[in-house]
Amino acid sequence: MENESRVEKESYVQHNCDHYKDHRYDDLEHRKYGDKEVDVCIVGMGAAGGVLIHELSKAGLEVVGIEAGPFWDPQTDFASDELHAYSLNWQDTRLSGGNDALKFGPNNSGRGVGGGTTHFTGVFYRFHESDFRVKSTDGVGEDWPISYQDLEPYYDKIENDIKVSGPKHFPWGPFNGPYPYPEREPISAWAQVFREGCEILGIRSSVPPLAILSAPFDGRPPCTNRGFCNEGCKPNAKFSTLIHHIPKAIQEGAEVITDSMVTRVLVDDDGTVSGVEFNHDGNYYQQKAKVVIISAFTVETPRLLLNSACSQYPDGLANSSGLVGKYIMPHSGHDVFAKFDQEMRLYKGTPVMACTQDFYETDPDNDFVRGYTLNAHGNRPVATAKILTADAGYWGKELREIMLNFNFYAQITMVGEVLPQKKNQVTLSEEKDEYGIPRPKITFSYCENDNKMIEHGVEKANQIFKARGGKPAFVAADTGHLLGGCRMGDDPTNSVVNGFCQSHDIPNLFICGASVFTTSGGANPTETIMAIAARTADYIADLGKKGEF
Amino acid sequence: MIERNTYYPDYDVLDQIEEWDPVTADAVLKRLGPFPALEFLTGDEEQRLRVICKHLVYDNRDDIFDWVIHFIDQTLADEKGEYQRSPDAPPEKILVREGLKAIDKLAQKLYGNDFLSIDVKEQFDILASLQVGKAASIPEWSTIPQKDLFDKLLVLTVAPYYSHPTIWSEIGYGGPAHPRGYYRIELGLADPWEAQRKDVTEKEEDNGE
Ligand SMILES: Cc1cc2nc3c(=O)[nH]c(=O)nc-3n(C[C@H](O)[C@H](O)[C@H](O)COP(=O)(O)OP(=O)(O)OC[C@H]3O[C@@H](n4cnc5c(N)ncnc54)[C@H](O)[C@@H]3O)c2cc1C
Ligand code: SF4
């Protein structure tokens, strides 16, 4: 068991064990499935992990979920404050390079039960049919091994399970509503001017579908418009797997271990996986399982697979294609700001309250393929100042003057499809983290198609503002979400998992979550992540019933 | 300094503190001090950093920078990690510590004096040159990338600065608003307790707009 790369316990950083100072989580002293080989072990309790553990335990399987971060209590751990919420993010340092180096932490990575869903904005779109076959229709990227129709019943299920609020008629894509709960209304000033600008230009707009309640459900109240969705919703109006799927899974018998970082996946002599090794408070433990699912997000999933290299799999697990960690994709997420004469008060309302997908599909008149969503976006002072400084380069007097006018700006954020490129990747660096695991190094650069699309999106956003009397003010290069790195496909030489998220190389190793995306689509991805997870859960439960593991 | 520093002279976000949940109220009130002794920064470093922070956000009220410095000190003292770092840059503790030394050396080279002793305009010029990676050449820049240093100092400053309740009041931000929430969110509406703008037209005019 001992491994030379491990560091001494004394040198451990306290960060990865528990969230309260001087408080120690002691569940490892009274484990439910401690020495037992369970049916399924899931690494990462985020969007995908939450759906998986709930569905699999409902199906009667013995499931253990292991999460690196804490089990948050919204009442004591969340504050309605931007700075305070930093601890909800994956803070550990990642090396980030390339021409368009990505930002992590609050930009895309959650930590703790709920993963990214504790601090996501709740915008809840389905992908369109074309998203799954961009190679066939547009000659770029790769086709998915599954189609929209494969996911349709799971989209229905997820929306209904968490009571997505949305319009009676959503104008784009294969599903036009109605949603289980009514759309959010009223909408904020900054969303109103967006919709009015669109109307003047003949662009269709809508209130988006949101994983945020418009009426009470399951003991949870509707949204109070306080706008802190990215800081963790204290009233529990916003869905997260922390407050929905995971407590329900525990009720069904699942065990959830927190503050425990999985450091490697264990491999048997026959080449199958037998469980995982994890670290809690400096000590190593093992959990044996018949099936292992890794749903640790786009960076940590390939990192764990690569770090689990062993004599049978010297290049890392599930990596015979050499594609573990390759083809990662953010969404281009440029933020476009305009100044109005009236107060927009960006801080009020759910952060996204209006959108258009009129530019979603490939348009032969454009000099690029694929497309994007535009979201009218609210914001708060720290995030706005960070966009202005780190992304747009303002400081000193100019920064101060813009911020004194904070209440007069409106914002539109683009969610643009980014084409998959092999050189955009997660690899292991030379530097080690507190567990002695190599830090991930992420390299990212846009391609020409991405840049042309960004130019188009920024121009459209400015046109919408101008039509409604806004003065274009500044544009900040930004990204949202992160996908890929273990993409799904039918061809084992060209993908890491099949359409059911089962690794081509090791049949009892599954990979689920943002990392299996073959292409990025042009819309916020989490509903698709959760629909894929629900479909994977059905598949695994079925294998279990057939006695295949 | 900017003379007219608010559209909302009568608004104080802290008037609403009774309406905030205790976790949030506690987190925000801690920003008013008093602050414990510095853990990471030395007295010398603190002095230089304070001036740089003031320039970066264009303000010079020391009580606000006591909080900014405390936040930076705590961030640098702690081992949690910095989300991301360029593969060419050292960890933030080293970046800031060595970066402050390099800034002093640059001031010596350009103006024959340490950073704190040169003119404010010269201090601003140095910061501006770092932002674009064009500061005069000294060997330190090979291990302390100028832009990484500038961006780090800027982000470490704006996050606490724009979390200070005095600044919230000035920009007319409603603050935590939990559990109360907002009811009047549409164009032209505000809840009665929110910041209300004074003399809209007058301000617009003397803003030159
Ligand atoms: C600010 C913000 C706003 C967003 N808004 C939206 C939105 O409006 N709509 C939308 O669709 N999407 C949004 N997203 C994206 C969304 O959060 C992600 O797409 C989603 O959470 C990814 O799901 P996942 O299951 O792949 O990973 P995650 O939800 O990130 O879960 C991964 C989990 O694995 C854990 N983990 C990682 N490594 C290990 C390990 N070695 N051992 C144990 N545990 C580990 C992590 O701590 C984490 O809890 C937003 C994201 C951010 C940051
Ligand atoms: S805006 Fe609504 S959903 Fe978002 S954090 Fe506030 S109450 Fe929760």
Place of tokens 């399924």: A40
**What is the Å distance from ligand 1's center to A294 Cα?**
13
Is the distance from CB of B104 to CB of B126 less than 8 angstroms? Answer: no
**Average pLDDT over every residue of B110-122:** 97
Structure tokens at A430: 């030379």
For chain A, the residue count is: 549
Question: Which of B20, B178, B186 minimises the CB distance to A192?
Answer: B186
Calpha distance A41→A49 (Å, rounded): 10
Cβ < 6 A, ligand 2 pocket = A 212, 223-229, 233, 235, 237-238, 350
Residue A415 · residue A524 · CB < 8 Å: yes
Half-sphere exposure of B199 (CA within 13 A, CB side): 12
| Nearest CA among B140, B55, B63, B74 for reference residue B102 | B140
Contact between chains at B159 and A393 (C-beta distance less than 8 A): no
Q: Which atom of ligand 1 is nearest to the CA of A304?
A: 41
What pLDDT score does A449 carry? 98
Closest to A267 (Cα-Cα) out of A301, A322, A325, A310: A310
| pLDDT of the residue at A532 | 98
Rounded mean pLDDT of B94-119?
97
For ligand 2, pick from A120, A124, A212, A239 the residue to mutate: most ligand atoms within 8 Å of CB.
A212
In chain A, residues with a C-beta closer than 8 Å to the C-beta of B188 are 189, 342
Q: Say how far apart CA A68 and CA A112 lie, in whole Å.
A: 6
User: 């005095």: which residue's tokens?
Assistant: B166
Q: What is the residue-level pLDDT of chain A in tens, covering all 549 positions?
A: 334 444 444 444 444 444 454 555 677 888 999 889 999 999 999 999 999 999 999 999 999 999 999 999 888 889 999 999 888 899 999 999 999 999 999 898 999 999 999 999 999 999 999 999 999 999 999 999 999 999 999 999 999 999 999 999 999 999 999 999 999 999 999 999 999 999 999 999 999 999 999 999 999 999 999 999 999 999 999 999 999 999 999 999 999 999 999 999 999 999 999 999 999 988 999 999 999 999 999 999 999 999 999 999 999 999 999 999 999 999 999 999 999 999 999 999 999 999 999 999 999 999 999 999 999 999 999 999 999 998 899 999 999 999 999 999 999 999 999 999 999 999 999 999 988 999 999 999 999 999 999 999 999 999 999 999 999 999 999 999 999 999 999 999 999 999 999 999 999 999 999 999 999 999 999 999 999 999 999 999 999 999 998
CA distance B188 to B196: 11
Distance CA(A98)–CA(A427), nearest Å, equals 13
Count of Cβ atoms closer than 10 Å to residue A440 Cβ = 28
Q: How far out from the chain centre does Cα A216 lie?
A: 26
For ligand 1, atom 48, name the residue with the nearest CA.
A115
Return the best residue to mutate from A231, A245, A284, A297 for the ligand 1 pocket (most ligand atoms within 8 A of CB): A297
Which of helix, strand or coil describes residue A363? coil
Burial class, A426, CB count within 10 angstroms (exposed 0-12 / middle 13-18 / buried 19+): buried
**DSSP classification of residue A215:** S
Class of domain A4-20+37-545: alpha beta
Burial of A374 (0-12, 13-18, 19+ CB in 10 A): buried
CB A485 within 8 A of CB A426: yes
* Angstrom distance (rounded) from CA B56 to CA A324: 42
Q: What is the 3-state secondary structure (H, E, C) of A314-360?
A: CCCCCCCCCCCCCCEEEEECCEEEEECCCCCCCCCCCCEEEEECCCC
User: Among A123, A119, A345, A124, which residue's Cα sits nearest to residue A233?
Assistant: A119
Pairing of the two strands A94-97 and A438-443: parallel
* Residue A73: both structure tokens together: 């209590």
Q: What is the pLDDT of residue B80?
A: 85
Spatial contact of B126 and B119, defined as CB atoms under 8 Å apart = no
The pLDDT value given to residue B2: 54
- In the reported structure, the alpha carbon of residue A217 is separated from the centroid of ligand 2 by a whole-number distance in angstroms of 15
DSSP assignments along B71-132, one per residue = HHHHHHH--S--SEE-TTSPPHHHHHHHHHHHHHHHHHHHHSS-GGGS-HHHHHHHHHHHHT
Tell which atom from ligand 2 comes closest to the C-alpha of A233.
5
Domain-wise residue ranges, chain A: 4-20+37-545
Tokens of B8: 């909302």
- When scoring A75, A195, A226 by the number of chain B Cβ atoms within 10 A, the one with the most, hence best to mutate, is A226
Residue for token pair 């009397």: A469
For residue A510, the cross-strand partners are: A293, A502
What is d(CA A495, CA A156) in angstroms, rounded to the nearest whole number? Answer: 28
Which residue carries 């010596």 as its tokens? B108
Question: In this structure, which residue's CA is closest to atom 2 in ligand 2?
Answer: A223
Cα A508–A512–A518 angle (5° rounding)? Answer: 115
Contacts of A186 in chain B (CB under 8 A): 185-186
CB–CB of B56 and A396 under 8 A?
yes
Average confidence (pLDDT) over B30-41: 97
Cβ contact A297:A115 at 8 Å: yes
pLDDT at B4: 62
**How many residues are there in chain B?**
209
- Smallest CA–CA distance, residue B63 to chain A, in Å, is 18
CB A306 within 8 A of CB A325: yes
Structure tokens at A92: 């550990």
Mutate to test the interface with B, among A80, A84, A342, A353 (most CBs of B within 10 A): A80
DSSP code, position A514: G
A62 within 8 A of A407, measured Cβ to Cβ: no
Encoding tokens for residue A401?
A: 């003057």
Token pair of A75 as six digits: 């009442």
Q: Residue A381 is nearest to which of B23, B81, B162, comparing CB atoms?
A: B162
Beta strands in A30-102 (DSSP E): 38-43, 63-66, 94-97
- What is the complex's ipTM, to 2 decimals? 0.93
Written as six digits, the tokens of B146 are 């100028």
* Phi, psi (deg, nearest 5) at residue A16: -90, 10
Is there a contact between B57 and A386 (Cβ–Cβ < 8 Å)? no
Domain segments of chain B as ranges: 13-206
Name residue A147's amino acid: S
Whether residue A47 has its Cβ less than 6 Å from ligand 1: yes
Instruction: Classify residue A3 by its DSSP letter.
Output: -
Which residues in chain A are closer than 8 Å to B197, comparing Cβ atoms? 343, 407
Which token pair is B61? 């009220």
Structure tokens at A100: 């368009």
How far is it, in rounded angstroms, from Cα A37 to Cα A70? 24
At residue B170, φ and ψ (nearest 5 deg) are -65, -40
Q: DSSP character for B61?
A: -
Short-list A217, A185, A454, A40, CA closest to B183: A185
Best A81, A89, A111 residue to mutate vs chain B (most B CBs within 10 Å): A81
Ligand nearest to the CA of A350: 2
**Side by side, which strands form the sheet with A438-443?**
A425-432, A438-443, A94-97, B84-85
Structure confidence at residue B199 (pLDDT):
57
Q: How distant, in Å, are the alpha carbons of A100, A384, A412, B105 from that of A478?
A: 10, 12, 12, 34
User: Measured at the alpha carbon of residue B87, what is the angle toward residues B81 and B89, in degrees to the nearest 5?
Assistant: 75
DSSP letter (8 states) at residue A479: E
Report helix, strand or coil for A529: helix
The CB-side HSE value for A309 (13 A sphere, CA atoms) comes to 14
- A279: enclosing H helix or E strand: strand A273-280
B178 to chain A, closest Cα gap in Å: 7
pLDDT at B203 over 60: no
Distance CA A343, CA A322 (A): 53
What is the pLDDT, as a whole number, of residue A390? 85
- Look up residue A457 and give its two tokens: 């999106």
Angle between helices B146-161 and B120-131 (to 10 degrees): 110
Spacing, Cα A232 to ligand 2 middle (Å): 8
**Mean pLDDT of the region B137-148:** 97
**Atom 37 (ligand 1) nearest CA:** A296
Instruction: Provide the pairing of β-strand A425-432 with A438-443.
Output: antiparallel
Tell me the whole-structure pTM to 2 decimals: 0.95
Look at phi and psi of residue A152 and say left if phi exceeds 0, alpha if psi is from -120 to 50, else beta.
alpha
Strands A38-43 and A409-416: unpaired
Per-residue confidence band for B198, with pLDDT thresholds at 50, 70 and 90: confident
Among A89, A96, A404, select the one facing B85 at the smallest CB separation.
A96
- pLDDT(B206) > 60: no
Beta-carbon contacts of residue A70 (< 8 Å; ≥ 6 apart): A18, A19, A25, A77, A112, A113, A258, A259
Alpha carbon of residue A426 to chain centroid: 16
Query: What pLDDT is attached to residue B205?
Result: 43
